[in-house]
């Protein structure tokens, strides 16, 4: 990661924050984007206090003008990220027959359209500078299998779209030396993990999940972050269009006991 700039959306918390911190720890300069400006600044400040370099920008990835403005600011500062991690995401649950269209649209706007807009602006900058690079999107086991807890209609659809976006972009931009991959994190200790779980219920849900995940625990955010950084690195120079599953064995496990 040395001498590279890595841009991370959703870097104010969870996997995005862990990725930005780890990239900086490995020598990269970090561009920290989040809709929560205070959280973005906290992440950037932590990097700077540790001796790294970071820029924090408020950005709602579902807002086309906001994403374009963020990349315009980077261009004005002569900052060109060699790597992109599109980690911004929301999870607003609900069964399909009860799901308001506004909630459906909000999830897709952040998770799928947000990933597209970040990729679009980043790809345009890379092509204009004739620079090779690597992007990592964040999919989910929900893109490949129905979640037992249910009520993930919008989230699953958005992540299925992210997975299709990943493979399509990988093929379209490979000839430019641009790689596009996705990580598929399983249950991870992040605010998003508990977005639809009441605080009083979380210890019980955590214990049940630990029993259901083959590795017997939830992931620390740093674990999928390390997967993302490997995909960004030269060690993955011949890897594009792939899904790096880091889910503790969730997708490998059959749902029946016989």
Positions marked catalytic: 155
Q: Quick one: tokens of 37?
A: 């400006």
Burial class (CB in 10 A: 0-12, 13-18, 19+), 41: middle
């Amino acid at each position: 990661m040395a001498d590279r700039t890595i841009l991370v959306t959703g870097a104010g918390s969870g996997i995005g924050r862990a990725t930005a911190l780890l990239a900086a720890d490995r020598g990269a300069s970090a561009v920290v984007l989040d809709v929560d400006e205070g959280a973005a600044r906290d992440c950037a400040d932590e990097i700077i206090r540790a001796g790294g370099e970071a820029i924090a920008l408020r950005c709602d990835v579902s807002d086309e003008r906001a994403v374009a403005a963020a990349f315009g600011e980077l261009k004005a500062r002569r900052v060109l990220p060699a790597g992109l991690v599109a980690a911004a995401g929301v999870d607003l649950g609900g069964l399909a027959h009860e799901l308001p269209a506004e909630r459906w649209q909000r999830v897709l706007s952040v998770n799928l359209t947000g990933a597209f807009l970040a990729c679009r602006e980043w790809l345009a900058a890379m092509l204009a500078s004739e620079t090779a690079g690597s992007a990592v999107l964040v999919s989910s086991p929900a893109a490949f299998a129905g979640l037992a807890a249910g009520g993930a209609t919008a989230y699953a659809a958005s992540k299925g779209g992210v997975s299709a976006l990943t493979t399509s972009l990988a093929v379209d931009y490979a000839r430019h030396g641009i790689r596009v991959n996705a990580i598929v994190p399983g249950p991870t200790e992040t605010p998003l993990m508990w977005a639809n779980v009441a605080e009083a219920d979380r210890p019980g849900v955590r214990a049940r999940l630990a029993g259901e995940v083959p590795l017997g625990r939830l992931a620390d955010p740093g674990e999928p972050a390390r997967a993302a950084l490997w995909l960004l690195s030269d060690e993955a120079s011949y890897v594009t269009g792939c899904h790096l599953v880091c889910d503790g064995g969730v997708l490998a496990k059959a749902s029946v006991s016989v």
